[in-house]
Structure 1
Amino acid sequence: MKRTVVISGGGTGIGRAAAWAFARDGDRLVLVGRRADVLRRAAADLPDAVAHPADLTEPADVRSVADMVRDRFGTVDVLLHCAGGTPSRQAGGAPGTRASDGTFSATTGRSGGDPSDVGGDGAAGEAEEDPLAVLARGWTADFRANTLSAVLLTEALADRLASPGGRVLFVSSIAAYRGSGVASYGAAKAALHPYAHALARRLGPRGVTVNTVAPGIVGDTDFFGEDGMTEENWRARIDETLNGRAGTPGDVASTLHWLASPAAGHVTSQIVQVNGGAQRGS
């Protein structure tokens, strides 16, 4: 049976790999995300896909997605959340240094200029910004991108989920368990877990399952590509695994695909770790 699958962040990485996994089943795909050009290229490569650019942290944009899905498809069989990242890095919301334990040190509160000019004479002509304001902006950006975006899209489409048989899937991170170099990212991913559990309880009577997948390090993704990770740090993360390799987008996509299948109909309110054993147990 042909299903309608909505994927946020479906243009790259795990989202794109998942799109192909569902496409091989003959499903119709709705790819949602901020980068219109990336989404449209991905959709053009797939046999039955539509791209709908939207900022999922903005209620009006999310409503436009819900309206389009209602008008064109009616029902959503699978809702998959792959969008996220660390916008605090790009938006100037987290300048300064991050220790290995993920704590934040605001070495400068300026939102622009030369970051090496710390404690200087202000020659750049910019007033210093309160480090707490900088910190608040960074944390807010990461929670909006990773938590709020998933919550808004889920709530907008909840009434459209197939009942029974609907699937809601969240992509979290190993950082939700152990933190990362960006503390706000791990915290934002961890916030998905109680929401997913509450949603599973709420939608269970309708025959809808809700699950979360928490990957470890994954190669061939924008997230780790932009991380500026040194070879030493990369190797350290690989050494934590039990199989001696990084994950691939396909590893994560295969798990998501199975959780969306009829075979996983009795699996709900679970967090499945896909990390090569880097994080063991719950």
Structure 2
Amino acid sequence: MAHRLAVISGGGTGIGAAAAQALADDGYQVWIIGRRAQVLAEAARRISERCGRPDAVVSVAADLTDPVEVDRVRDTVGDQPVDVLVNNAGAYVRAAADATTADTAANWRATFDVNVVSAVLLTEALRPVLRRPGGRVILMSSIAAQRGGGGPYSAAKAALHGWVFDLAARFGPEGITANVISPGYVADTEFFTGRMTPQGHQSRVDATLVGRAGTPDDIAAAVRYLASPAAGFVTGQIIGVNGGSVYGR
């Protein structure tokens, strides 16, 4: 795995950082991208230290909803082949309590920007340098796409499901796979900061068949599999990692 490159958006915390650790442990050079430079730099230092390679992880601060900043990321990557692209960046954008029509429009657009447009822009920017054959494109969705409950967030994550079918068909002849990972409830992330109650946590745990919340490492294990040669025949799939909260279809 020496000299193979993985690019992970939203790689500074939670699932993104766990995926970065897993791929760095497998010998990849990992680039993590996000808005918060200090958080990214600290994650890069920590992950590199843990995997025993001082420069295993490189941090790149960028707003991936901004085409100009995405082009800067592409220029920074240059001509290096990208073996694995993990579009993990995303967020739940809170709506105003008494939203006007303009507020609603702004909330939906912001939600799609951060969860869908960011993935589209980064994937299209790096498309020319995806490794052929053998490249991997992974989109991070959510159980909310399959069972609802998140309003614009559910809709945005569901949009990734439709888009991955287009990606798989487009990239397949070039030997590149494209898949979606759809996590269930993962407790140890920033996603629920300020929004989770003990009752909410327990109800989500009770909804699983395995009786526990997921961890970032559970999702990183799926990333690691899809990035591996073992997954070369897997493409155009929605892979639920949710403890049985929602059955596969």
2:130 matched to which residue of 1? 161
Structure 1 partner of 2:11: 10
Tell me which residue corresponds to 1:239: 206
1:195 paired residue number: 163
Structure 1 position 227, deviation (Å): 4.7
Match of 1:53 in 2: 61
1:266 corresponds to = 233
Per-residue deviation, residues 146-192 of structure 1 (Å, max 9, x unmatched):
00000000000011000000000011000001112x30111110001
Residue 141 of structure 2 is aligned with which of 163, 172, 175? 172
Q: Which residue of 2 aligns with 1:68?
A: 76
**Matched residue SS, 2:191:** helix
Q: Deviations over 1:215-263 (max 9, x none)?
A: 0100110102x15111111111111100000000000000111011000
Write the letter of the residue equivalent to 1:222. Answer: E
Compute the RMSD of aligned alpha carbons.
1.0
Confirm or deny that 1:142 pairs with 2:111: yes
Of 74, 86, 90, which aligns to 1:84? Answer: 90
Residues of 1 paired with 2:199 and 2:45: CA distance? 38
1:281 offset after TM fit, Å? 2.0
Tell me the SS of whatever aligns to 1:222.
coil
Larger radius of gyration: 1
Deviations 1:101-139 (A, max 9, x none): xxxxxx3x5xxxxxxxxxxxxxxxxxxxxx100000111
Unaligned runs of 5+ in 2: none
Please give the TM-score of this superposition, normalised by the length of structure 2.
0.95
Q: Which amino acid aligns with 2:191?
A: F
- Which amino acid is 2:144 matched to? A
Deviating beyond 2 angstroms after TM superposition, the runs of 4 or more aligned structure 1 residues are none
CA distance in 1, matches of 2:146, 2:239: 12
CA–CA separation in structure 1 for the residues paired with 2:232 and 2:19: 19
CA-to-aligned-CA distance 1:29-57 (integer Å, 9 cap, x gap): 11101011110111112131111100000
Q: 1:227 to 1:171 in 2, by over 3 A?
A: farther
Structure 2 counterpart SS, 1:85: coil
Q: Which residue of 1 aligns with 2:32?
A: 31
Counterpart for residue 214 of structure 1: 182
Quote the Cα distance in structure 2 between the aligned partners of 1:227 and 1:259: 32
Question: Quick one: which amino acid aligns to residue 59 of structure 2?
Answer: A
CA distance in 1, matches of 2:213, 2:23: 23
- The equivalent position to 1:255 in structure 2, one of 209, 222, 247, is 222
- 2:132 is paired with a residue whose SS is coil
What is the CA deviation profile of residues 7-42 of structure 1, one whole-angstrom value per residue up to 9, with x for unaligned ones?
Answer: 000100000000110111111011101011110111
Calculate the TM-score normalised by the size of structure 1: 0.84
2:7 & 2:166 partners in 1: Cα distance?
21
* Identical aligned residues as a percent: 53
Q: Which whole-Å CA distance do the structure 1 matches of 2:194 and 2:15 have between them?
A: 16
